[in-house]
Amino acid sequence: MEHDFPPLQNDLILRAAWGQTVERPPIWVMRQAGRYLPEYHKAKGSRDFFECCRDPEIASTLTLQPIERYAGLLDASIIFSDILVIPQAMGMVVEMVDKKGPHFPNPLRSPDDGQYAEVMERKVEVAKELDYVYKAITLTRKKLQGRVPLFGFCGAPWTLLCYMVEGGGTKLFKEVKTWIYKYPEETKALLQKISELCVEYLALQVKAGAQLIQVFDSWAGELSPASFKKFSQPYLEYIAKNLPLRLKEMGLEPVPMVVFPKGAWYALDAACDMGYNIVGLDWLHDPAEAVKTVGDRPIVLQGNADPGVLYGSHAAITEAVTGMVKGFDWANRKKGWIVNLGHGITPFVNPDDLKFFFEEIHRLTEIDA
């Protein structure tokens, strides 16, 4: 490794991710660096969201905020970035519109719109186009001083395609459904191109210092089981198979890989065979049923409290945590579970209520550790 990083003081999540028996379940939450923290708004100032992503100093500061606020309670950090940096690297314009979210002024409309051919033919130099992400990861690893490991991530090909053709968030998914059912071959060609870029992007994140990676398939649940098998699963499998090969080519050790097919509850069994070490569960799963589905396979589950419980009373949070500890059968298994929410933490959550969630996990899993 060309970087000289400080030694790791807390490797709990790495041991758990590789399926080892551990003293307590590791904890982190999706979007833990973000809008719910007052210090986030202070550090961000008047900068545009993507400006923050492109400034390694700011991105690393934002990544570290929850680690500092919740010192001793969190077991991983996740680089402050966005899944849409890949479409940007592919030549598409993406803006972050306040109170609305990501917006593509010129989305892909059909395989004949000219832009599709440009995107498909463009030779994307991931190392050059997304260099700011790698710089942020390396800087963050140094600033972390070995306190906890650092996650890198990317959006799944299907989810990125949704944004690229819808032009932003949507409830109907009209454009992307038009693509998969009218232009299936062109869709698959684009998904394959995105998959190849994801592999290279993740490999370079590991080279820069990421110690685990997660693939976010945020819109997986919009696909029917049959369509998931055609337009999501093959590309998630491609990443899981090819990332370790690419890391080996680069002389790097493999890292634990998480897949998070949000909403695709029907795909849990398939997700356990995709080649990932960890399967992230959203809050629609029953933990005990998920454990049963995994069976004897060496898969670690991650999740899965409803993020909305953090708007509730402390009694409700305790109840949710108790249910997870019991559902994931922690007392008997002592492995196979990474604690998380079932999706990213939402805005307007009181940071002290998240702290209480963390403290309850510690309290209810360390009794007989």
Q: State mean pLDDT over 219-243.
A: 98
Tens of pLDDT, residue by residue over 16-64, are 999 999 999 999 999 999 999 999 999 999 999 999 999 999 999 999 9
- Please enumerate in sequence order all residues whose Cβ is within 8 A of that of 298, keeping only pairs 6 or more positions apart, or say none: 19, 277
For residue 106, is the peptide bond before it cis, meaning its omega torsion is within 30 degrees of 0?
Answer: no
pTM for the predicted model, two decimal places: 0.98
Query: Which of the four pLDDT bands, split at 50, 70 and 90, describes residue 346?
Result: very high
Whether residue 1 has pLDDT greater than 60: no
Per-chain mean pLDDT for the chain: 97
The tokens for 252 are 């790097």
Confidence tier at 368 by pLDDT (50, 70, 90): low
CA distance 176 to 313: 39
Per DSSP bridges, beta strands 95-97 and 101-103 are antiparallel
pLDDT of 170 over the 90 cut: yes
Whether pLDDT at 215 is above 50:
yes
Cβ contacts of residue 140 below 8 Å, gap of 6+?
59, 60, 63, 64, 77, 79, 150, 209
So what's the pLDDT on residue 67?
A: 98
* pLDDT digits 0-9 by tens, 267-288: 999 999 999 999 999 999 999 9
Residues with Cβ within 8 Å of 360's Cβ and at least 6 positions away in sequence, in order, are 317, 318, 321
Confidence of residue 367 (pLDDT cuts 50, 70, 90): low
